[in-house]
Chains A and B, each alone.
Chain A
Amino acid sequence: MGKFLAVTIIVIAIASAIPVVMHTWEPPADISTHGHLIDSQRDDTMIEAGVSFLAAQILLAIFIWQFSNAKAGGKTKTFPGGAKGLVSAALVLVGVEVLALGAFGTKAWATVYFTPPAADAMPIQVQAGQFAFYFRYPGPDGKFGPIHPEMINEGTQNLFGLDPEHDVESRDDIVTAEMAIPVNKEVHLLMHAKDVSHSFYVPALRVHQDFVPGLDLSLHFTATQVGKYEIVCSQLCGLGHYNMRAYLEVMSQADFDDWQKKQAAAQ
């Protein structure tokens, strides 16, 4: 039975590795300027994780095959190098490996979080609330009018609680249910939570950030490919969490300008 377990472990290990090697299930293709750093870090990690996984399972299987239910008697052997060798291997190999992963991985993280947005990045505000994302563009004056939470009213579609009567900057703000951006132009996304925690996850764009009620956070990114992509909520926010999404449309600059004009006219 030990031999059967050994074979089962090896079959399971190889079967588990096959979809990974064959890239059967992959995230959407990267459409961002920074995503390649994340993807290459992820692929490097897969090599190390994959090798560790297969090596450990195969070694376990080999030892179970060889050393289970053996006949009594005969010389017993201990693992060459004993515990010292194994502990040293763990400390050195794994220690170096994880330190390297950590050190090299900081670059991808720093690109997303420690570099400020470009001075000419296009500001867009996104508000997450049960169970939709809404977006606000600042309009020609380049300024966002203040949000008055007590004025938020879905019935009258005052989704951001704007007061154009008293706030000049609000008058030209453009509120939309979908997010459009020009291709190859950096966007500075200002994130605001209306009610509970949500998250802004766009797998294709390699961005993922929680909305925190009470904290105004921001992200910046640049999309490199025209197309339509899904923005999904990934922080459990209530019964509609599974259905909370918006579309991101990446367009040429000309198409984006047209789109923005149409949206402004529809306000």
Chain B
Amino acid sequence: MHEVSAAPAAHHGPPTTFIRKHVFSTDHKVIGIQYYHLALVAVVIGMVLSWLMRIHLGWTNAAIPGLQAISPNGAPGGVMTPEYYLQLMTMHATIMVFFVLTTAPFAAFGNYFLPIQTGAEDMPFPHFNMMSFWVTLTGFLVLVSAFFVSDGPPLAGWTSYAPLSAIGKAAGPGQGAGQVIWATALAIFCVGQLLGALNFISTVLDMRCKGMTLSRLPVTAWAWFITSCMGLTAFAVLMPACILLILDHVAGTSFFIPSGLVINDQLIPHSGGSTLLWQHLFWFFGHPEVYIAIVPGMGIVTHVLMTNMRRPMLSMKAILYSFWALAFLSYMVYGHHMFVSGMNPFSSLVFSFPTLMITIPSTILVLIWIGSLYGTKLRINTASLFALGFISMFVSGGVSGFFLAQPSIDIMLHATYFVVGHFHMVMGVAAMFGIFSGTYFWFPKMYGRMMDETLGKIHFWLTFVGTYCIFMPFHYLGWAGNVRRYAAFTDDYLKPLIPLHQFISVAALITGAVQLIFIYNFINSRFRGAPATANPWEGTSLEWIMPSPPPWNNFGGKDPVVYHDAEQYGVKTASGADYIMQNSPEQAVSGADGD
């Protein structure tokens, strides 16, 4: 491993045709933007699905205008059937986890900025990189096609537990073709992500420019690198699991189906399989997946905060070691999704200990972020507001983990809204805040224009308060024993909770509508935003040395040379600036005041 860029001499010349520039492009920046647009389309679909779900949960017998036209079977007279609710829920979660939370912070921003932050002209395998986007997009299109098959999408949840997901359409609507399409889409997605992870890892290891030692890499580059390592190992397990599931459907195998099962008075002609095997395979992927969803956001938040605090973090080492600890421990905790699954209860205790221990690196991160604010002059803009909001959300979502990590308490909280509140806050909303922070921060670089700050701040305030109004009450529901994945609340002990569900639904619809402000700002600023300079935030890392937007070959054919890490903020310089860029040979006159 060495820092001198070994880039082959111009492995691609500048693209000349429209197709090569904007469609089938090997340029990592174009690929990053393509991933971002995919995530944007996916999040709109995922959000609309959540609105439909929340309307139904608050007002179960309400006729939703237009829904019958979309699905005459799923919503006769506009009233959602229970199976359609579950189908929408399955697609909501699958689209959000894979095509928003894995795609935007990792594939979109990572593809765009990782090569730049390492000082590379592009990734080492640009054609694989282009393929990774198009394969991922294919996975998305295959997934969405499940809406259009006769029985509709699967209803088994994004977790798709066997045997419900394995025995075919006898198990319920959507469990035939819809389930096979779902598993196929995910297997395709895994291939796309593996191609991407290969590129990310080899970029960090082999494409760093002169002077860019590993320790000088910006925190976001590290976050993407660590996430790629997780992705390589986690998606490599999900893909075969999906293939085995498909085989149970189409090839008469019984990987996940034991003998003796009876549905509709018919004996299912399978035997020899293990129900729990699916859960082990899925969660071995599924737990690292949630860290894949959040670690890039943690990197972005750290990066954005440092730039706006005008001071380094108290300890970048502590942050990076915590990222590694999260990644490492994430493989050891997966059984906490299976405490009452029928797995050996001794195993449950074993899994609970690393689950409790993973609180430690999470706490270190939160304390370093908060402690680093002390004594600074934090600039408040939309990007830093979302970064601060991330910290608050991560704390809120994280503390419910104290309960869920303990098997005995999980007896009460497993499969309730407590879990749903936990993961929406700590992963869903926090990661979204990371994505928003990164968007407002990097938009000027990507598009050469500033986003509107007033609209950005309105977006932040309404979203921050709105998401708390939606997801904090989920914990109260779960605490009271409200089981999740219910299409309606007909149990005696649940009926008194319906008003709280209605409150949540109203909050969800309002907060959803607020996102239109972001979408308007994003599109409008592309054309009418104030022109952006190369370094509007006075950042130190290499993305800020290039024009906004950057040229096709990033550094204009000349590899940068790096002299510093990315944390030279709050320093005294001869020029009077309070920061030194990574590629500047200038040395600080002395450290930050008062140190």
Contacts and interface: CB of A to CB of B under 8 A. Distances in A.
Contact of A196 (B167, B260, B402): B167
Given A90-B363, A212-B276, A215-B275, A113 B395 contact: no
A83 B318 contact: yes
A189 to B, nearest CB: 13
Interface in B242-287: 257-263, 265, 267-268, 273-276
Contacts of B341: 210, 212
A234 B414 contact: yes
A232 interface: yes
Interface size band for B: 35 or more
Contacts of A143: none
A101 interface: yes
A118 interface: no
A267 interface: no
A45 B416 contact: no
A158 to B, nearest CB: 9
B374 A67 contact: yes
Interface in A32-78: 37-38, 41-42, 45-46, 48-50, 52-53, 56-57, 59-60, 63-64, 67-72, 74-78
Given A69-B380, A230-B492, A53 B396 contact: yes
B342 A209 contact: yes
Nearest to B479: A25
A102 B406 contact: yes
A139 interface: no
A121 interface: no
B595 A60 contact: no
Interface in A174-210: 193-197, 199, 201, 203, 206-210
A63 to B, nearest CB: 4
A87 interface: yes
A103 B194 CA distance: 39
| Candidate in B265, B276, B481, B489 with the most chain A CB atoms within 10 angstroms | B481
Contacts of A195: 163, 167, 171, 261-263, 268
| Candidate in B81, B157, B391 with the most chain A CB atoms within 10 angstroms | B391
Contact of B164 (A46, A78, A149, A197): A197
B82 interface: yes
Contacts of A263: none
Contacts of A19: 476
B311 interface: yes
A154 B264 CA distance: 8
A119 interface: no
A78 B480 CA distance: 43
Interface string B143-186: 00000000000011100011110010001110000000000000
B370 interface: yes
Nearest to A129: B262
Contacts, number: 330
A13 to B, nearest CB: 8
Given A37-B408, A67-B375, A72-B377, A130 B263 contact: yes
B468 A242 contact: no
| Candidate in B348, B359, B412, B414 with the most chain A CB atoms within 10 angstroms | B412
Contacts of B594: 75-78
Contacts of B86: 236, 238-239, 241
| Candidate in A5, A108, A109, A201 with the most chain B CB atoms within 10 angstroms | A109
Contacts of A243: 82, 488, 490
A86 interface: yes
B298 to A, nearest CB: 15
Nearest to A39: B412
Given A63-B374, A234-B414, A83 B408 contact: no
A143 to B, nearest CB: 20
A169 B348 CA distance: 36
B261 A213 contact: yes
B392 interface: yes
B314 interface: yes
Given A206-B411, A210-B340, A214-B259, A230 B493 contact: yes
Given A1-B457, A217-B342, A45 B403 contact: yes
Contacts of B115: none
| Candidate in A50, A67, A112, A150 with the most chain B CB atoms within 10 angstroms | A67
A95 interface: yes
Contacts of B464: 8
B352 A102 contact: yes
A168 interface: no
Given A63-B373, A101-B402, A150-B267, A2 B340 contact: no
24 contacts: A45-B403, A49-B402, A53-B395, A60-B392, A67-B377, A76-B595, A78-B374, A79-B314, A89-B367, A90-B363, A98-B357, A109-B345, A130-B172, A196-B167, A196-B171, A196-B261, A213-B261, A214-B260, A214-B274, A230-B493, A234-B414, A238-B83, A239-B155, A241-B82
Interface of A: 1-2, 5, 8-9, 12, 16, 19-20, 24-28, 37-38, 41-42, 45-46, 48-50, 52-53, 56-57, 59-60, 63-64, 67-72, 74-79, 82-84, 86-87, 89-91, 94-95, 98-99, 101-102, 105-106, 108-109, 112-114, 129-130, 149-150, 152-155, 161, 193-197, 199, 201, 203, 206-215, 217, 230, 232-243, 245
Given A76-B570, A196-B263, A241-B486, 9 more contacts: A25-B497, A27-B479, A69-B379, A78-B314, A87-B367, A90-B363, A95-B357, A149-B262, A201-B415
Closest 6 CB pairs of A and B: A214-B258, A83-B315, A77-B375, A108-B408, A98-B356, A239-B83
